[in-house]
Amino acid sequence: MRLTLVHPCIGRKRGQPYIKSWQMEPLAPALIAALTPGDVEVRFHDDRMEEVPFDEPSDLVAISVETYTARRSYEIATEYRRRGVPVVMGGFHPTLVPGEAAVFADAVVVGEAEAVWPELIDDFRSGSLKELYRSPARPVLSDSRPDRRIFRDKRYLPIGLVEAGRGCHFRCEFCAVQSFFGSTQNRRDVDSLLSEIRSLPQRLLFFVDDNITSNMDEAKEFFRALIPLGRKWVSQASINAAHDEEFLDLIKRSGCQGLLIGFESLDPETLRRMHKGFNTMAGGYERALSNLRRFRIPLYATFLFGNDEDTHSTFRDVLEFCEESRFFIVAFNHVTPFPGTPLYKRLQDEGRLRFERWWLHPAYRYGDVPFHPRHLTCEEVRDGCLKLRGSFYRWGGIARRSLDLRVNAPTPFMWGNFFLINMMIRSEVRARAGYPLGDESFVGPLAARAGDQASISSSVLEQSA
């Protein structure tokens, strides 16, 4: 049996390759490869970096789909199904909208794959592939170790991705993670984590957890055990962790080089509405940033715009706050209503979605705001985000932030990468603006079922949804 794994890109402009910079190893296909029986021949293609060889012989194709890659995933599935090759889809997007994904796939995996993937392979071999496979419960992650052999001969950033846990216990309105995992988190046991980490050659590790602090006691146990390994790492955390000094001490001693923290907004009412009021706990941002500075932890801060309370002054206030805080890097993005989230449902009920399924609409482009903000236009939010990126990553701003040696250069490693990372982001401020979802060169209808003539035209898909 021959299994082909494909990691889709967001899309492609007509006649142009996908933006190739900043590509990291995708863990999802490596985890599927690890779950696949050893007698199955596994091939992997990364659509972000190479042309997918659709005519290469294959018995089954598997695609892990995110909302931004849904349209491209359906195009890839169509190419294979035109050739008579069945396609399985799983991941965030098919779990949140399985009915939609089922239109373009022969089988859909809802939830995490560990409990159902071996069954799916057995069913396929016996000719009894089901249309839907639903994970019955959160799996035990002890044996969920990716098979990185599929990455051979591919040029990724020299960062080792490790999954210590999945999910997050918070219920942020905009977040698809809480919808997918039901506001729970599973963590791997410490021994299996340390074993995987010891096997990785990369100098820098990225713990890809949705929230590395979601189970604080288990996180502390892991970081205590990580200290002797002397590794460098970055991850994502919620800001409440900044008020736990034992945790800050442990992550610093275990090699933390920086944290991505979602600030999202400076307005308490906005944070309350998005169910992120914990950002203001124990003295709020001022106290949290003071603690993080004492432990010399650089920050990748994220902010969202287009919230119901946002006005023109919101952009100015956030920029001033970021420059005064001298963050290592910052992401300025618009709010995105992902399907299956409370935010999507609220905007849908309020009649504020511009497109019912924006991720499939032929008019939608990356960076567009797919809903109607209360006090700003869609264009004002889109352009405001672009302007903030340009302002924050001015040469003068980068230079001033570089002088904060206590936080932005706490180690020679971070000092050596500060300018490199900031210049890379500066060069891409507008790179994805207006980028299409899906390949503009794709020709023909999207195949709706393998083996017959039924299809749904990509141009009318939105109308029929």
β-sheet bridge partners, residue 108: 89, 132
Q: How many CA atoms lie within 13 A of 239 on its CB side?
A: 25
Residue 458 pLDDT level (bands cut at 50, 70, 90): very low
Query: In angstroms, rounded to a whole number, what is the distance separating the alpha carbons of residues 301 and 141?
Result: 29
Query: Cα–chain-centroid distance for residue 135?
Result: 21
148-427 falls under which CATH superfamily? tm_1862 like domain (3.80.30.20)
Q: What is the pLDDT of residue 445?
A: 85
Q: What is the rounded average pLDDT of the residues 197-205?
A: 94
Q: Which among 400, 369, 388 is positioned nearest to 426, based on CA atoms?
A: 388
Query: In angstroms, rounded to a whole number, what is the distance separating the alpha carbons of residues 436 and 426?
Result: 21
Q: Is the pLDDT of residue 315 over 50?
A: yes
pLDDT in tens, 361-371: 989 999 999 99
Global pTM reads: 0.92
Residue 415 pLDDT level (bands cut at 50, 70, 90): confident
Q: What is the pLDDT of residue 460?
A: 32
CATH class of the 2-140 domain in this structure: alpha beta
Tokens representing 443? 């020709």
Q: What is the pLDDT of residue 139?
A: 81
Which of 22-26, 79-83, 395-399, 427-431 is least confident?
427-431
Strand bridging mode 2-7 / 60-64 = parallel
List the domain boundaries for the chain: 2-140, 148-427
